[in-house]
Amino acid sequence: MRTETAFVFACLSLAACADRAVPTAPDAARIAAVGPVAAITRQFPAEDPGPPLYTILEPQFVLHTEEWAAIIFVRNPACVPGGFNLLQVVNVPAAFGCPATVSGHVTYKNGAPPIDPAPLHVLMQGNGAVPIWFVAWPELELALADNLLTTVEILAMGSLRVGTASQFEMTQHPGAVRPQGTGNGKIELVARGSLLDGTSFFVQVREMGLDQVSVLRHVAIEFR
């Protein structure tokens, strides 16, 4: 996702982070003594519980064409609190209690937050069944007008089409640690699967930041 803090896995997922605003003594000592070292990669969920969010969705990052929008659930949608505003994106620690539908890794240049503000690279791959809900873009756009969107609201939409991606992969290079700075990251996403009625679907997204402005360069949502 475009929100770089959404992928700050380690500090959001470890209880110890709530009580510290500076690196731990070993990390601080290492950085002071030797400076930046080789990149640090953490696997999730093996070493980290993963993203502290339910969907790939945020106010300024809605995957849509002129006809359709896709809401990708990186955690089981049945576990999402019905009253939670998905546009808030992050829900700590509640999100960690929901089963993840993806796995992957996150790579930091020097270390997890607060050492680095964001990772260098994030990879998410589906665990075999990634829920994706499709709704007509005009209907969703209208629902977004009040800056509030819940799963209950989506389930009530007349255009809703529920699907599952058997293939899913998303890579992100957050802008915060790139030479161009925050807002100049990159996202590549592709998903393939089928709807409940057997119709197959294909989703492809390419987002790139330019001059600190996020731009959806390419979005394809196709039913076949």
- The burial of 218, by beta-carbon neighbours within 10 Å (0-12 exposed, 13-18 middle, 19 or more buried), is given as exposed
Would strands 213-223 and 200-210 be described as parallel, antiparallel, or unpaired? Answer: antiparallel
In percent, the amount of the chain with pLDDT more than 90 equals 62
- Given a cut of 90, whether residue 82 has pLDDT beyond it is yes
Residues 221 and 201 sit within 8 Å (Cβ to Cβ): yes
CA-closest candidate to residue 205, choices 193, 192, 187, 223: 187
CB-based burial label for 32 (10 Å; 0-12, 13-18, 19+): exposed
Distance CA 190, CA 72 (A): 11
Q: Is the pLDDT of residue 61 over 70?
A: yes
Q: What is the pLDDT of residue 10?
A: 38
The closest of 89, 151, 100 to 126, measured between CA atoms, is 100
Reported confidence tier of residue 204, pLDDT bands at 50, 70, 90: very high
Mean pLDDT of 95-101: 95
Q: How far apart are CA 224 and CA 212, in angstroms?
A: 36
Mean pLDDT of 60-81: 96
Hey, where are the domains in the chain? 4-223
Q: What's the rounded mean pLDDT across residues 128-152?
A: 98
Predicted confidence at residue 210, as pLDDT, reads 72
